[in-house]
């Protein structure tokens, strides 16, 4: 069989006779060509598991930030709705000359960003941030 990726480095470690028998048995059961292949595959699996674990932790942190942002936006929307209901009941017109909704939306987002614990992005005349890249990831 041709070797397409020759292995040039050598790693030594000592094992007991019992460990060698166990390794050899696992090789036969798992189809590894040698104890060396078994050890190499085991180390590669450990490395891959560590990387998946780190990626999972990063994903969990991003999910926490998003959950905080959603909770803050929800709270701001509830406050806005409550405020509008009160103003409507009092007969007040809360939005003046078309600028009110945009300003109210900006205030909602500003409160949401602060409530989520992340820096507020630069805002244009619209309610949306200039760039989505302003998120911390």
pLDDT tens for residues 10-45?
888 899 999 999 999 998 888 888 998 899 889 999
- Any domain includes 5: no
What is the residue range of 33's domain?
17-88+98-134
Is the residue at 53 inside a domain? Answer: yes
39 belongs to a structural domain: yes
**70 HSE (CA, 13 A, CB side):** 6
Half-sphere exposure of 30 (CA within 13 A, CB side): 15
Query: Is residue 2, in this structure, part of any structural domain at all?
Result: no
- Give me 40's structure tokens: 């190499």
| Count of domains forming the chain | 1
> Is residue 122 included in any domain, yes or no?
yes
> What are the beta bridge partners of residue 123?
129
Q: What is the pTM of this model?
A: 0.41
């Amino acid at each position: 069989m041709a070797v397409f990726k020759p292995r040039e480095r050598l790693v030594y470690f000592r094992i007991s006779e019992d460990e060698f028998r166990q390794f050899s048995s696992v090789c036969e059961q798992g189809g590894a060509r040698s104890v060396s292949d078994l050890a190499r595959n085991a180390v590669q699996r450990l490395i891959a598991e560590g990387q998946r674990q780190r990626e999972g932790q990063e994903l969990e942190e991003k999910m926490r930030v998003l959950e905080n942002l959603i909770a803050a936006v929800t709270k701001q929307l509830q406050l806005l709705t409550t405020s509008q209901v009160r103003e409507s009941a009092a007969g007040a017109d809360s939005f003046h000359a078309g600028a009110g909704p945009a300003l109210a939306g900006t205030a909602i987002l500003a409160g949401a960003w602060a409530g989520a614990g992340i820096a507020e992005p630069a805002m244009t005349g619209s309610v949306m941030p200039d760039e989505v890249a302003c998120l911390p990831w």
